[in-house]
Amino acid sequence: MTYGRRNLKLTFMRDYAIPHYLDSVKHRKLVEEVIRFYESNLGRPYGGIDWDELRIIVSDDRLYEALRKVMTLFYRPGVPTLKPVVNPRILRLRVFQLVNERYGGFVPSNRREDVLRDIMSELRLGVDIDEVLWCDDVNEQPLVRVRVATVEGVVKAFNFETIDTVCVNSSQVRLLVSRFEGGLGRLARDVGRFCKFYGLIYDMRYVGGWLRIGVEGPRTVFGRPTRYGARLSMLLMKILPRLYGMSEWFVEAAMHTRKGRVTVRLLSSKLRPELGIVSTVRVREVFDSSVEESIYRSLRSLGLNIVREEEPIALGDILYLPDFKIHTKRGTYYLEVAGYWRREYAERKAYKLHEVSKAIKNIILIADEKLKPYFNKLKIPVIYYKTLYGKPILPYRKIKEIIE
């Protein structure tokens, strides 16, 4: 969920902006009053709530709108208690039709009850038409509690939605982590795996004393630059536990607004809003796809010593994370698997493999035959496969010939 860019509050520094987060100590009184407002309106029709009272409590229009969105995680209109025998929408159309046909589209207030009684009789309704007619209108539904709201819970939810709002409106997320930090290999591995899972592109390299990781969606000539923003948000949420366990790091986003692009410093080792993150990261799958798993098992059955590469390989300033390693008596080979991706992704993948192959010669690429136009010029062995009933068909023994 996102509470909308127009409701995002930013504090502008010289080179970047910082989003407004809530703090359970600094903003405790405000959040308590917001919770008290919702609790005092429980059971009241949603449309009858005096929202201006909440606006006065918050005393900031952007924050008010953002909090209203976030509070729907805790309070929302309840489901109708009345189960009508007819669809209220169809009933309204029928009533309006009868009123137009018989009364010229207008019924005086002193005749309203008689007219409704006649319509109920004609439509043979066994319930009060006033109760049924608008029972599906959200404004008529009572406010109910769906989760217990605490100050800490609201603060964490608001901060998560703030990060999501920035990312959804961004085209790129950049991570800077001290190269002397422990756990860089695990962080790089998780970024690589999740990028592949979400269809994102990453670039990892050392710049000075930092590991710089840039993540973005495949670039296109047409389409919104922020079309992959939701995936950037999901990726960031997955790797946050790793970052929060480190001591020197920054996360920045290239956010797009009507006035142009703004660099937003989302998080850092010194800017750590309350988020309630878990202490460990779990990559969703052992294999990134069923094609990868099938290739892995087939090569294992041929007697090859193939393993999943768990740590990135440093090639000068570049960090490279292959899919698999194959150990032989002659040395180690790196195996890449390229499925059928969109054109922009394939072009970036081909460029990256070209760059990596300058430093590593023993790379083998297994690619979907539909990607031939993108990989034919690579100066590394490329073996193409086609899928039959969801399984890759390729000459596996050709891989043995290459490495032997």
Per residue in 99-143, pLDDT (tens digit) is: 777 767 777 777 767 777 766 666 666 666 665 665 556 667 889
Identify the architecture of domain 290-403 in CATH.
3-Layer(aba) Sandwich (3.40)
> Please, which pLDDT band fits residue 285 given cuts at 50, 70 and 90?
very low
Side chain identity, residue 249: W
* Cα angle: 264, vertex 3, 139; to 5 degrees: 170
pLDDT score recorded for residue 283: 43
The C-alpha angle with vertex 298 and arms to 319 and 307, in degrees rounded to 5, equals 35
What are the CB-based long-range contacts (under 8 Å, 24+) for 33-40?
33/57, 34/58, 34/67, 34/71, 34/154, 35/149, 35/150, 35/151, 35/154, 38/71, 38/74, 38/75, 38/143, 38/145, 38/149, 39/145, 39/149
| 196: confidence class by pLDDT, cuts 50, 70, 90 | confident
pLDDT in the model for residue 328: 86
Query: Which strand ranges, in their side-by-side order, compose the sheet holding 331-338?
Result: 305-308, 324-328, 331-338, 363-368, 382-388, 391-393
CB 355 within 8 A of CB 315: no
For residue 76, the cross-strand partners are: 144
| pLDDT over threshold 70, residue 27 | yes
Cα separation, 284 vs 303, whole angstroms: 28
363-368 and 382-388 beta bridge pairing = parallel
| C-beta separation of 212 from 174 below 8 A | yes
pLDDT in the model for residue 153? 95
Q: Cα separations (Å) of 19 from 23, 96, 165, 267?
A: 13, 49, 10, 9
Task: State the pLDDT at residue 250.
Answer: 95
**Which tokens hold the place of 210?**
């930092």
Our CA dihedral for 48, 49, 50, 52, rounded to 10 degrees, sits at: -120
Please state the pTM of the whole predicted model. 0.73
State the distance between the two ends of the chain, measured CA to CA, in whole angstroms: 53
pLDDT of residue 357: 85
**Element of type H or E holding 49:** none
Residue 181 exposed, middle or buried by CB count within 10 Å (0-12, 13-18, 19+): middle
Q: Mean pLDDT across the stretch 236-241?
A: 91
Q: What is the pLDDT of residue 287?
A: 57
User: What number is the average pLDDT over the span 180-204?
Assistant: 85
Spatial contact of 169 and 260, defined as CB atoms under 8 Å apart: no
DSSP state of 153: H
Averaged pLDDT score across all residues of the chain: 84
Cα–Cα distances (Å) from 152 to 3, 29, 149, in that order, read 19, 12, 8
Structure tokens at 80: 């109708």
Spatial separation of the C-alpha atoms in residues 332 and 324, rounded to whole Å: 10
pLDDT value of residue 15: 92
- The CATH architecture assigned to 169-283 reads 2-Layer Sandwich (3.30)
What phi and psi values does residue 272 have, to the nearest 5 degrees?
-125, 80
Burial of 91 (0-12, 13-18, 19+ CB in 10 A): buried
Of 71 and 284, the one with more pLDDT: 71
Residue 352 has pLDDT above 60, yes or no: yes
* Residue 57, number of CB atoms within 10 A of its CB: 14
Looking at residue 110, what is its pLDDT?
73
281 band by pLDDT with thresholds 50, 70 and 90: very low
Reported as a pLDDT band with limits 50, 70 and 90, residue 340 is low
> Could you tell me which residue, 88 or 19, shows the higher pLDDT?
19
- Helices 61-71 and 51-58: crossing angle, nearest 10°? 120
Give the start-to-end residue ranges of the domains of the chain. Answer: 88-135, 169-283, 290-403
* Region class of 393: left (phi > 0), else alpha (psi between -120 and 50), else beta: beta
Residue 261 pLDDT greater than 70, yes or no: yes
* pLDDT-based confidence at residue 30 (cuts at 50, 70, 90): very high
